[in-house]
């Protein structure tokens, strides 16, 4: 399975995926990393693993123009899936539908037990809502925000003396285990979407 990674931040999920590949827990090849933030820590992470990085800043560009640039640069790489790992930018409906042909090709990890707490700062949303349990979700991406078929979820309990920081750290740690495992299942063809065919 060949993947393109997309990230905007510190890159701890990217690191977990690259470590899983290195240790052969995940049978995948990374074609390149697409990063939309010039100063993101994930760029250094990718370099440490000798992964090619396409820095494609979105600043000053419309969503459409940014996506056109991504597609333009990605034409030189082959891939089976786009793997979003802390990529903090929404794709347009047009792009999602184009990439998801003839089947779902974009995978994302979201820091909540979807469908709860969509959008940004999901651990914080859950923490402030006083949940007893939170978690993370790996799902295929459709045209809606943090939507699309759920592939797997992992949960953790809120502890009595949790602060937002300890709560988030436990969630992130869980993401690092869940995401590579799910990708390995996908690479082995073990994930099937039981849904009607995708609309064009
Ligand atoms: C993760 O919690 C991810 O689920 C969310 O943003 C965070 C990114 O962390 N979308 P990192 O860049 O992988 O460390």
Percent residues over pLDDT 90 in the chain? 96
> Which atom of ligand 1 is the closest one to the Cα of 109?
4
Question: Would you state the structure tokens that stand for residue 85, as one six-digit string?
Answer: 């790992």
Q: Strand, coil or helix: what is 46?
A: helix
Q: To which H or E segment does residue 47 belong?
A: helix 42-48
Ligand 1 centroid vs 88 CA: distance in angstroms? 9
The answer to whether 110 is a known catalytic residue is yes
Ligand 1 binding site (Cβ under 6 Å of any ligand atom): 7, 9-13, 85-86, 109-111, 172, 175
Q: Strand, coil or helix: what is 35?
A: strand
Contact 37, 7 (CB under 8 A): no
Contact 189, 30 (CB under 8 A): no
More confident residue, 85 or 193: 85
Residue-wise pLDDT for 60-95, tens only, equals: 999 999 999 999 999 999 999 999 999 999 999 999
Residue in 66, 110, 139, 176 annotated catalytic? 110
Tell me which of 85, 120, 182 to substitute to probe ligand 1's pocket, judged by most ligand atoms within 8 Å of the beta carbon: 85
DSSP 8-state secondary structure symbol assigned to residue 190: -
Closest C-alpha to ligand 1, atom 6: 86
d(CA 166, CA 159): 9
Closest C-alpha to ligand 1, atom 14: 12
Record the pTM.
0.96
Residue-wise pLDDT for 8-64, tens only, equals: 999 999 999 999 999 999 999 999 999 999 999 999 999 999 999 999 999 999 999
């Amino acid at each position: 399975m060949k993947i393109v990674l997309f990230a905007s931040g510190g890159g701890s999920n990217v690191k977990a995926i690259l470590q899983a590949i290195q240790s052969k827990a995940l049978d995948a090849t990374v074609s390149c990393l697409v990063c939309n933030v010039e100063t993101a820590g994930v760029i250094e992470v990718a370099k440490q693993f000798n992964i090619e990085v396409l820095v494609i800043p979105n600043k000053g560009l419309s969503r459409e123009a940014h996506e056109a640039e991504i597609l333009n640069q990605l034409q030189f790489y082959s891939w089976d899936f786009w793997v979003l790992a802390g990529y903090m930018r929404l794709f347009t409906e047009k792009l999602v539908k184009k990439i998801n042909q003839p089947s779902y090709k974009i995978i994302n990890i979201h820091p909540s037990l979807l469908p709860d707490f969509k959008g940004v700062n999901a651990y914080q949303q859950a923490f402030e809502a006083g949940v007893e349990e939170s978690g993370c979700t790996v799902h295929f991406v459709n045209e809606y925000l943090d939507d699309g078929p759920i592939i797997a979820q992992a949960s953790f309990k809120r502890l009595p003396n949790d602060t937002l920081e300890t709560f988030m750290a436990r969630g992130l740690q869980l993401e690092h285990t869940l995401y590579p495992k799910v990708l390995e299942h996908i690479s082995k063809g073990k994930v099937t979407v039981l849904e009607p065919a995708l609309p064009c």
